[in-house]
Amino acid sequence: MKKSVFLGTLAATTMLAGIAAAQDGSTLAAIKARGELICGTNTGLTGFGAPDANGNYQGFDVALCKAVAAAVLGDATKVKYVPTTGETRFTALASGEVDLLVRNSTWTYSRDTSLAFDFVAVNYYDGQGFMVKKDLGVSSAKELDGATVCIQTGTTTELNLADYFKANNMTYTPVTVADDSEGQRQYLAGACDAYTTDASGLAASRATMADAENHIILPEIISKEPLGPVVRHGDNNWGDIVRWSFYSLLVAEEKGITAANIGEVATTSTDPEVKRLLGLEGDMGPMMGLDNEWAKRAIAASGNYGEIFEANIGSATPIGLARGLNALWTQGGLQYAPPVR
């Protein structure tokens, strides 16, 4: 501890301070000692990670932080949310400022390798889209030649945009904004013709606009954006905990375990996999340094994957996203958890 305080005063960059702090022991031990999970989240993307009217973080990504906290610490509320922008998020994670980053971050080759991160799972399969005002009279992204496009800096969308316009032999003027709220402001002020980011983010932004019906999301999806929780390289046990906390939510949906019926299922279920997952059979928890009831608590925190989806971004919410690619594999989607065995 002393070491990191000393370092903090001396270090020329926060990066130096952070790495040393993160080095002391495993992430799991550090979280248990601290009694709190530090989760990097969005500065504010409705439905995914944004403070509600009472200032409590809520959302699809935030629910995963809660599930991990419940699995590790036994209490879903023991999470400290650190809002990060597209630009600061990876530095925050690399420096050890956050234990876990769940912030609509796209899994790419270079982030996985040269940035030395592990994308432990994909909690939302997304793709980049465009939003334009209806009165612009554009119905396809291919008609955007010469347009001014607002784009968040430090994202994969920046590179996809350049590639897409080049591949279609079109030109554009980029307006580089720091975060989603600034992007929306510029787009609404008319400083750009189109706003581009992940289609889920566009839907979330559109839901918060006063005149949502005057904006349309163009049909083209120009990229693959697998979004998922990220941890640092090097602490594989911690990566396992986050991965399986997420998969336990998927398995729960598959097996029909919900936040409401989990107590009942735990007592009555005869399915061996459910019993293993809920810690009634076998010794699964200690294999990654947790107790046997970790998954039970993770699921009880905010329900299974499907419940979290519907509560935060599903078709009943203002954001109104369909499950689509994010349906379970049994229902034609891509969400597939390896067996708990």
Partner 1 sequence: MALATDAPKESFRLGMLIYDTRFRSITIQVIVLALFLAALSWLVNNTVQNLEAKGRSFDFGFLWQRAGYDIGQQLIPYTNDSSHGRAMFVGLINTIVLAFFGCIFATVLGVMVGVLRLSKNWLVGRLMTVYVEVFRNIPLLLWILLSYVILSETMPAPKDFRVTDEMTAAGELPAASMMLFDSVAITNRGLDMPAPLLTRSLGSVEVFGVPFNLSAIVFLLIVAAGLYANHVIRSRAQKIQEDTGIRPVTWWKSIAVIAGPALVFLLASGFYLEFPQLKGFNFTGGIQVAHSFTALLIALVLYTAAFIAEVVRAGILAISKGQSEAAFALGLRPNRTMSLIILPQALRVIIPPLISQYLNLTKNTSLGIAVSYLDLRGTLGGITLNQTGKELECMLLMMLIYLTISLIISSLMNVYNNSVQLKAR
Q: Give the residues lining the site for partner 1 (CB under 8 A).
A: 7, 10-13, 15-16, 19-20, 23, 86-87, 90-91, 94, 110-111, 114-116, 136, 144-148, 153-155, 158-159, 161-163, 166, 172-178, 186, 189-193, 232-234
Q: Which of 112, 93, 69, 118 is nearest to 14 (CA)?
A: 93
**Six-digit token string for 315:** 């078709």
In Å, how far are 26, 116, 194, 279 from 289, measured between CA atoms? 11, 24, 48, 14
Instruction: Name the residue nearer to partner 1 (CB basis): 34 or 166.
Output: 166
**Six-digit token string for 195:** 């706003």
Give the nearest distance from C-beta 197 to partner 1 in angstroms: 15
Give the nearest distance from C-beta 215 to partner 1 in angstroms: 15
Rg of the chain over CA atoms, in angstroms?
21
* Neighbour tally for 171: CB within 10 Å: 10
Q: Which of 13, 31, 11, 1 is nearest to 242 (CA)?
A: 31
Q: Which of 244, 184, 178, 182 is nearest to 212 (CA)?
A: 184
Instruction: Name the residue nearer to partner 1 (CB basis): 30 or 280.
Output: 30
Instruction: Name the residue nearer to partner 1 (CB basis): 22 or 319.
Output: 22
Cβ(284)–Cβ(268) under 8 Å? no
Give the nearest distance from C-beta 194 to partner 1 in angstroms: 9
Instruction: Name the residue nearer to partner 1 (CB basis): 165 or 305.
Output: 165
Instruction: Name the residue nearer to partner 1 (CB basis): 95 or 312.
Output: 95
Give the nearest distance from C-beta 12 to partner 1 in angstroms: 7
Instruction: Name the residue nearer to partner 1 (CB basis): 26 or 148.
Output: 148
Give the nearest distance from C-beta 174 to partner 1 in angstroms: 5
Give the nearest distance from C-beta 155 to partner 1 in angstroms: 8
Q: Which of 201, 222, 226, 219 is nearest to 334 (CA)?
A: 226
Q: What is the Cα 231 distance to its own chain's centre? A: 12
